[in-house]
Structure 1
Amino acid sequence: MFSASRSSTCSSSSSDSSPTRSGESRSYRRTRTPVKRPSNTLLGAAIGVLVLLMFTFAYANVPLFKLFCERFGLGGQGKARMKGEAASAMSSTTGPIESRNITVSLMGVSASGLPIRFRPSVPSVVTNPGRSVHLSYVFTNMSDDSVHFRAIHSIVPEQAAREFQLIQCFCFEDQSLGPRESRTLPVYFALSPRIPTGIEEMTLSYTLFPRDPKKKLPVPAREAN
């Protein structure tokens, strides 16, 4: 009899505690705070604003960035020379290294909204270290208004940029085209004999940016190596 009574008491106690734990579990689930995650729309808008600010900063500082790269040989800008310095630069070496052939590809693109089409006289040229190359680009204004612009050049790979000597280039100063005008502008460069031996191909490319003719830009330093 005593054993049955104890069993009944335990069973009653067990049945009473069960609803309590279940109720606590339900109460816990109800009071949990859901984690709020940013919507895809807000995230996309934030990224778009960041990209726009970066582009605006880069666009506003193109001339300063170009001058900085030319001065310190960074960012694939190469070095500029006065036209009269070309002969002395080449004569200070042992002459062209004809055993080495390097292919230089030429490219160009206009910034969005700039109505200019331009192309190199040849898509690529094979040259030797120590030999000068004379090429040209053809520019055409596709609009009925005059256009003012500045070309920014870039050279890849960067290991070759330090030994790329830009002697004469339309990128040294602002350019302008009248309505529907076409013009051919020269490019005169040379590769230094010191260019790394592993380089067999490189690319010279230009990007055109619109310019306000009322605003003066500093002239890039043209200094010898």
Structure 2
Amino acid sequence: MKGPTPQRHGRVAAICGLLVLSMGGLSFAAVPLYRLYCQVTGYQGTTQRAEKGSDVVLDRVVKVHFDANVAAELPWKFEPVQPSLDVKIGENTLAFYRATNISDKPTTGTAIFNVTPDAVGTHFQKVQCFCFTEQRLEPGQSMEMAVSFFVDPALATDEETKQLSELTLSYSFYPVRTPTKVGGQAAVSNAEGKGG
């Protein structure tokens, strides 16, 4: 009985190599694919991005609470300017957060965000947000950053959300090790939050 031929060894090695490359490619694509899935479905409270404000405003009001967090390795103070707002469903609303660089060096941060309860994610629409771009702060600099949003009127008829009267919009800032360059400058939205 003959053993495996060198040609067969080569095929097995090629198949194993393709499997390793495929797994590497899938793991590389996992984060952007997961992010896309969350954005499309609102999974885990991922908010949606709207091209324009709502055309329909209901008389029903929800209270939107604002939460702010910052990673320990980013030397910023970060807080909502207003702790909460009463907002009519469908009403285009502007809320502000304030960030201050408490270090003696320029730092750049990026914000991740979600809303709770998670089921609200598909109904929370951002028109403009400081979270769409990286934010750079010089030493000691403080900046107010805006988020323009509305709560989609579909919240009032969705079985999972129609009874809700309160929700929380939460941001967490993390340091950016290599800021994105735009025309030789780090990408930063202005104090009105109109970047992105």
Q: TM-score, normalised by structure 1?
A: 0.61
Larger strand percent: 2
Aligned residue in 2 for 1:96: 57
SS at match of 1:75: helix
Rg larger in 1 or in 2? 1
SS at match of 2:154: coil
1:176 aligned onto 2:136:
yes
Aligned residue in 1 for 2:48: 79
Aligned residue in 2 for 1:186: 146
Q: TM-score, normalised by structure 2?
A: 0.69
* Shift, 1:206, TM fit: 0.4
* Shift, 1:116, TM fit: 0.5
* Shift, 1:78, TM fit: 1.4
Alignment: residue pair count = 147
Picking from 172, 178, 194, the partner of 1:213 is 178
- Tell me the distance in 2 between the aligned counterparts of 1:63 and 1:213: 19
Aligned residue in 1 for 2:167: 202
* Shift, 1:67, TM fit: 4.2
Give the share of equivalent positions with the same residue, in percent: 31
Structure 2 letter corresponding to 1:108? A
SS at match of 1:171: helix
Larger helix percent: 1
- Tell me the distance in 1 between the aligned counterparts of 2:134 and 2:37: 18
What stretches of structure 1 move > 6 A for 4+ residues in a row? 61-64
1:158 aligned onto 2:118:
yes
* Shift, 1:214, TM fit: 4.7
SS at match of 1:194: helix
C-alpha contact (below 8 Å) 2:43/2:119 kept by paired residues: no
- Tell me the distance in 2 between the aligned counterparts of 1:81 and 1:150: 20
Aligned-pair Cα RMSD in Å: 2.0
* Shift, 1:171, TM fit: 0.6
1:167 aligned onto 2:132:
no
C-alpha contact (below 8 Å) 1:146/1:178 kept by paired residues: yes
